[in-house]
Structure 1
Amino acid sequence: MPTLSPTRRTTVTRGADRAIRERDRMLALLGDALVAHLGVVVSRDGTSHPVVLPTAFAVDPDGPDADGTLYLHGSSGAGWLRSALASDVCVTVTELDGLVAARSAFHHSMNYRSAVIIGRPRLVDDPDERARALDLIIDHMIPGRATTLRASTRKELAATAVLAVPLREASMKERAGGPVDDPEDVGGTAWAGHIPLRRVALPPVTAPDAQGEAPADVRRRVEALA
């Protein structure tokens, strides 16, 4: 597994001691997280403005792009799609792992894992690759789910866009543990420590018009997040 080799655009400068070099740790983060945020500059009517959009995603470490492929789900009718294809985009994925309470306001922090990927996206138009990408996105939400569903219709596929972003230009940062207080503050009376956080799934709620109990793939997903 190659190490992360950030470019000038993705080199960590602030808090460089939190930079992660192991690519497999970034892939682990992308496997845990469920939402990516896509940053793109949208041009319209002679003006431009930045937009950051949440989106479902999936990763194929052995995908056709440089160092693997990040697939992003979107709508073919979305106004940002053309702008995204015309220039480089920035994708961020973050997992919040804890709240850090220090003895001073300055040293309060958060425990997190965060990845930044920059690159020129491409529209996935090959039918086989797009079908695989959509299956990966569904299975990223609920592993094993894609094989239980009917085939997508032409209308549904026409309304769906999949973008592929190379994983080559990427960086990751991570913070863990308790506060780092100034020595002169350690003897103070304020409490210091951290509050671990994790995502927890509640029991599945069956739709009113659905029959039977939640299937095995859904139950496994809930158990994994219990």
Structure 2
Amino acid sequence: MPLACGSVVAVNPNSTGTAPLSPTERSTIRRGAKRAVAERDALWALLDAGLVCHLSTVVGGAPLVLPTGYGRDGDTLYLHGSTGALSLRTAAQGIEVCVAVTHVDGIVYSRSAFHHSMNYRSAVIHGTAVVVTGAEQKTHGLRVLTEHLAPGSWEHSRQPNKKEVAATTVLALDLTEAAVKTRTGGPNDDEEDIAADTAWAGVLPLRTVWGEPEPQTAHIAVPPHIAGRAG
């Protein structure tokens, strides 16, 4: 299951969801190639279902991987952070970065310890992050990020002022060079272990659900865009 890290990415509005991914040398899945997914729609769905990515870069000659929120607009991934963040300043210098998003859907219990596994969906994106400049473009990126993490909040909340926008770095990463890999189903036990059948085998699903809102403003009712997400 590939893991990496992510930062702000920008989308190509001309991309079509039906177009397949076109693996490059570094985005071609070799280990467990049968689990590779070629559809670009699968990449989009995986990113849209996640909240945190991991951004990987090299800072001062050493690798650095950091978790961060993100947002997608077409074939662009947006990342953001403080203008003082060394990781973003480094990623903004035109160097190659890597972003990864992973969902764990369950633990696969096998009859042998060797064959224990996970069911998962994962994406790894390679590319050069681009600094988003211009108030309108930055505001768009911030809106994409906000609406991905907290749908409905851009219009409900006070929007960023000029000082806040100036203090924020927004990066855009094109999703052209990406790989998607998934695993589903039960254990892949050896025939002798299946025949012996001395240990429980199966899948323990993992599901993430929203809880009930915990208000900090008791005099304001929970708005529909939040109540609708709650479990």
Give me the TM-score of the superposition, normalised by structure 1: 0.91
Shift of 1:34: 0.4
Instruction: Tell me the residue number matched to 2:162.
Output: 154
Secondary structure at 1:168 match in 2 = coil
Q: AA paired with 2:82?
A: S
Matches of 1:154 and 1:189, distance apart in 2 = 65
Q: CA RMSD in A?
A: 1.1
Are residue 39 (structure 1) and residue 56 (structure 2) matched? Answer: yes
Write the deviation string for residues 6-44 of structure 1: whole angstroms up to 9, x where unpaired: 10011101100000001001100101000010001002x
Secondary structure at 2:215 match in 1 = coil
Shift of 1:116: 0.3
5+ residue gaps, structure 2, are 1-17
Shift of 1:203: 0.2
Are residue 19 (structure 1) and residue 36 (structure 2) matched? Answer: yes
Are residue 55 (structure 1) and residue 68 (structure 2) matched? Answer: yes
Instruction: Tell me the residue number matched to 2:135.
Output: 127
Secondary structure at 1:186 match in 2 = helix
Farther off after superposition, 153-162 or 179-188: 153-162
Give me the TM-score of the superposition, normalised by structure 2: 0.89
Q: Contact 1:109–1:179 (CA<8 Å) still a contact in 2?
A: yes
Q: AA paired with 2:86?
A: G
Secondary structure at 2:228 match in 1 = helix
Structure with higher RCO (Cα < 8 A, 6+ apart): 2
Secondary structure at 1:5 match in 2 = coil
Secondary structure at 1:106 match in 2 = helix
User: What is the aligned residue count?
Assistant: 212
Secondary structure at 2:113 match in 1 = coil
Farther off after superposition, 209-218 or 13-22: 209-218
Are residue 81 (structure 1) and residue 121 (structure 2) matched? Answer: no
Matches of 2:146 and 2:218, distance apart in 1 = 19
Are residue 29 (structure 1) and residue 46 (structure 2) matched? Answer: yes
Aligned match for 1:112, one of 115, 120, 123: 120
Are residue 197 (structure 1) and residue 210 (structure 2) matched? Answer: no
Instruction: Tell me the residue number matched to 2:78.
Output: 71
Matches of 1:13 and 1:74, distance apart in 2 = 34
Off by >4 Å, runs of 4+ in structure 1: none
Q: Contact 2:139–2:165 (CA<8 Å) still a contact in 1?
A: no
Q: AA paired with 2:30?
A: T
Shift of 1:212: 2.0
Secondary structure at 2:57 match in 1 = strand
Shift of 1:100: 0.4
Q: Percent identity?
A: 49
Shift of 1:191: 0.3
5+ residue gaps, structure 1, are 62-67
